[in-house]
Structure 1
Amino acid sequence: MSGTSAPPPPFERPVADAVTGHWVDRWAPRRARPYLRLARIDRPIGWWLLLLPCWWSASLAAIASGTVPNPVHLALFLVGAIAMRGAGSTYNDIADRDLDAQVERTRSRPLPSGQVRARHAAMFLVAQTLVGLAVLLRFNATAILVGIASLAPVAIYPFMKRVMSMPQLVLGLAFAWGALMGWVAAFGRLDAPAWLLYAGTIAWVVGYDTIYAVQDIEDDAIAGIRSSARTFGPRLRAAIGACYAGAAALVAVAALSAGAGPIGFLGVAGFAAHLAWQTVRLEAGNGRKALMLFRSNRDAGLILFAGLALDAALRVWIG
């Protein structure tokens, strides 16, 4: 009919919450775009949030050992985070494709929108997992075992939103795993600072993913999807504030137990201040602001990493 236009072909359909004007939508080969979207390459905040605890842990290990963060480890964690974030997202989308079709924000994802078949997505999942395995095999034997153990919470997370009111806790177990990896990669064992950092990172993940879930409260209720945002209800801001306060406190204790100095604690303070700012700015009914605050956790994490890494480096440089 005159005045109407045909919908764009599948490879031209971006996902609802992708970064506007991302290179995936502008420069990637058209047939590759649905797969890059399936791996969340157009939403880099996911791999940043998976990567940053690895870098924090590597920096704490450097502080404890009197060295600088191992640059090879930092680079391997970067590649591994991108690959495993993509693999986890692909697995999650395969498991959730029917639920995603019922939620406004997620129905444009490659699987529910028909851009990618489930069989092809499974093959893509295997390819990404092999990249992650190749990275993991570069570490010591204990780190390899710890890394493999991370697959347990990853495997069960997509199904938790159907059976528990706080699936973000299981997501926290998975996304915080990097807090263990940097330490065990350096020392071949897990000590108190790593476990304290892991606990603090879980609280951080629950806080920021609750903010993320604010976008979907109404649709989740219709689809029967459970989330911490729905569970907290009118106590949403107080609950997120409590998660963030616990995260900052546990990270501070982890830094103390690793022997961090003033620069490291300055990073912890900046991290805590950023989390407090997010809590104050949150508006329960404002999905757009919730997405902005969620994405800002990359900056919060980089502040903490900068403080810890600089603390380690100054100890070496000053001697």
Structure 2
Amino acid sequence: MKKFIKILQDIGELIVFKHSVFALPFIFTAMVVASKQTNDSVWFGFGLLVLGILCAVSARNFAMAYNRYKDEDIDKLNPRTANRPSVDGRVGRRNLELFIIANAAVFIITAYFINSLAFWLSFPILGILAGYSLFKRFSELAHLVLGLCLGLAPIAGAVAVSGEIPLWSVLLCLGVVFWVAGFDLLYSLQDIEFDQKMGLFSIPSVYGEKATMFISAIFHVVATLLWLLFAWAAQLGFLAFFGIVVSGVILFMEHRIVRRDFSKIDRAFFTLNGYLGILFFVFVLLSAL
């Protein structure tokens, strides 16, 4: 039993479970808005709450575990990632394979119990989540693919509640795509020399540091504009627009921190973006109420 618990702890470290905070606020944002428009209430029911959490967590577990599984050959050569459980032997490939399969199964089965559209979309969604690990080996546009992996969360939330994909959920999705791609560019600056040495594709390794900072800033401006369009398309009130402006300010602060001191990339990446997602959800919820 202790061995099993230790394996779960190591897997938890491997997939950085606490960073689920990035995706969960946006799937709940979409569920709240869809429920308000469909049922005239922000509460979509305890059953959908549980199913939504299961889908979000299992999808992220699958994506992170598959990424670590496919990147073992790269991670063991990178000093920043050489101590990951998938590299140092704490989590064997067999256990990782079982974890990947189990989470894919949980995601598909959970989607089945939500509705038919969610079920049929679960298969291409898993394909996109797995595709990121392969895509980044041949194209620097992998940052946008990663953004799409998280951007699918609000579409999934809308589908879960309303059984359809409304325009506002697509706008919210695209905003998340550029938000994630933008902060992933900043995070990738840590590996610029390693990526260049190994011939890996990333915008920092191909275009350099200054261009990366500029592109990241453009991505975050686009994300903020798309979020404003989302609030307009969803017919949300002042508080939602105000929350999006606050999100834009947080992104501006993120860029200031990174420009001043690259050693604080982790702070900008994890702390500020974690707060952004939560505040975004809270302001949309208050607006819907």
TM-score by length of 1: 0.82
- 1 CA distance for matches of 2:207 and 2:176? 20
> In the alignment, residue 302 of structure 1 is paired with which amino acid?
I
Which residue is 2:257 aligned to?
281
- 2 CA distance for matches of 1:64 and 1:155? 33
Contact 2:239 2:283 (8 Å CA) reproduced: yes
- 1 CA distance for matches of 2:265 and 2:45? 34
Could you tell me how far 1:111 is from its partner in structure 2? 2.0
Give unpaired runs (5+ residues) of structure 2.
none
Which residue is 1:200 aligned to?
175
The structure 1 residue matched to 2:22, chosen from 34, 49, 60, is 49
Question: Is 1:253 paired with 2:226?
Answer: no
Partner SS, residue 64 of structure 1: helix
Which residue is 2:144 aligned to?
169
> In the alignment, residue 58 of structure 1 is paired with which amino acid?
M
Question: Is 1:305 paired with 2:281?
Answer: yes
> In the alignment, residue 23 of structure 2 is paired with which amino acid?
L
Which residue is 1:64 aligned to?
37
- 2 CA distance for matches of 1:74 and 1:229? 39
Which residue is 2:198 aligned to?
223
- 2 CA distance for matches of 1:221 and 1:285? 22
Question: Is 1:294 paired with 2:274?
Answer: no
Could you tell me how far 1:31 is from its partner in structure 2? 4.2
Which residue is 2:98 aligned to?
123
The structure with the greater share of residues assigned to helix is 2
> In the alignment, residue 60 of structure 1 is paired with which amino acid?
V
The structure 2 residue matched to 1:271, chosen from 217, 225, 247, is 247
Change (3 A) 1:247 1:35: same
- 2 CA distance for matches of 1:60 and 1:276? 27
Contact 1:161 1:167 (8 Å CA) reproduced: yes
Q: Deviations over 1:172-196 (max 9, x none)?
A: 2212101201111222111211111
Change (3 A) 1:284 1:226: farther
> In the alignment, residue 115 of structure 1 is paired with which amino acid?
R
Contact 2:107 2:122 (8 Å CA) reproduced: no
Change (3 A) 1:284 1:91: farther
How many percent identity over aligned positions?
25
What root-mean-square deviation, in Å, do the aligned CA atoms of Structure 1 and Structure 2 show?
A: 2.1
Give unpaired runs (5+ residues) of structure 1.
1-10, 12-27, 314-319
Could you tell me how far 1:69 is from its partner in structure 2? 4.1
Could you tell me how far 1:283 is from its partner in structure 2? 2.9
Structure having the higher Rg: 1
Contact 1:200 1:248 (8 Å CA) reproduced: yes
TM-score by length of 2: 0.90
- 1 CA distance for matches of 2:8 and 2:159? 36
- 2 CA distance for matches of 1:302 and 1:267? 10
Change (3 A) 1:273 1:284: closer
Could you tell me how far 1:99 is from its partner in structure 2? 0.7
Contact 1:38 1:86 (8 Å CA) reproduced: no
Q: Deviations over 1:99-144 (max 9, x none)?
A: 1111111111122212222122101211222232343233121122
Contact 2:35 2:162 (8 Å CA) reproduced: no
